[in-house]
Amino acid sequence: MAPIKIALVGIGKIARDQHIPALAASQDYELVAAVTRHTGPEGIPSFRTIEEMLAAKIEVDAVSLCTPPVGRYALARTAIAAGLHVMLEKPPAASVTEVEDLADAARRRGVSLYTTWHTRAAPAIEPARNWVADRNLRDVVITWREDVKKWHPGQAWIWEPGGLGVFDPGINALSAITRIMPNHLHLTDAELFFPSNRAAPIAAHLTMSDANGTPVRAEFDWREQGSERWDIDIVTDCGRLALSKGGARLAIGGDVQVDGGAIDAEYPGLYARFAELVRNGESEVDLAPFRLVADAFMLGRRTIVEPFVE
């Protein structure tokens, strides 16, 4: 098949670290353009807006949006209206309703829309999902602790309304657990910790449950300066499952079943899935992780903590 001609919109850290290498390694795509306010990748034309790219008559089939979530809705609507397939970096937009409207617009226009959750493509996620499918879950504990200064240096947008704060990484954990658990989760309690000088939380404690009453507790924290952790521990009637390294490593009863090491396969997996959707004329819009975040902001208690200093 001819490669899908794709443009990257937003050339920041995640685009350079993950999207560009994944596209370069894929035979499914040809990267033909970039839309960015900064320096674009070498060897392809760059434009400041999608409208400028379209006016230049560049042959494009699809766009991958890597911009911050606030403002992404308008970009996606422009691309969909132009008949382009759209892939959305996580979180897919600034609100659940924005994504629902995009899904409706894509359906009417006959193009594919893909809300990506890169942690779901980690090597241990599907084995974990398969293992718990036939077991009774008794307890789930999620620990997601990392250093915001390391992963988001100088990125002011993450602290603004719509930037999600600690839920920017925390939604990765929620995307994993909503994929692994066989039943839907709902939020029962939340406490969000806001620095006194920021509009988004730096930490969060969530309590959730499924229809069977399985307790699920999550701790997200951006203040970790020691050993970072991206862990999910699940106790079942047949033993304990431990996911670590953000879904790259799986141990059952202490025996390692999967040890993917680095998670370099996540973004190639996302782009392979997007190619399938485009070629089959399908969309994939899963908002389960995003709804839990929205519920946390709606129901969560707000606790003010010390100011965040970059």
Catalytic residues: 90
Residue 245: strand, helix, or coil: coil
Structure tokens at 68: 């911050």
Q: Number of C-alpha atoms within 13 angstroms, CB side, residue 24?
A: 11
Tell me whether strands 203-210 and 185-195 are parallel, antiparallel or unpaired: antiparallel
The residues, any chain, with a CB within 8 Å of residue 309's CB and separated by 6 or more, are none
Structure tokens at 44: 């392809």
**How many Å apart are CA 80 and CA 102, to the nearest integer?**
8
Q: Is residue 171 within 8 Å of residue 145, measured between CB atoms?
A: no
CA-based angle 218:223:228, to the nearest 5? 70
- CA torsion sign for 31, 32, 35, 37 is positive
Look at the block and give the residue holding tokens 């890169």. Answer: 118
Q: Is residue 25 within 8 Å of residue 38, measured between CB atoms?
A: no
Listed in sequence order, the DSSP H helices in the chain are: 13-14, 20-24, 50-55, 72-81, 96-109, 125-132, 148-151, 167-180, 266-280, 288-299
Residue 238: strand, helix, or coil: coil
Give residue 159's identity as a one-letter amino acid code. Answer: W
Cα 52 versus chain centre, distance: 28
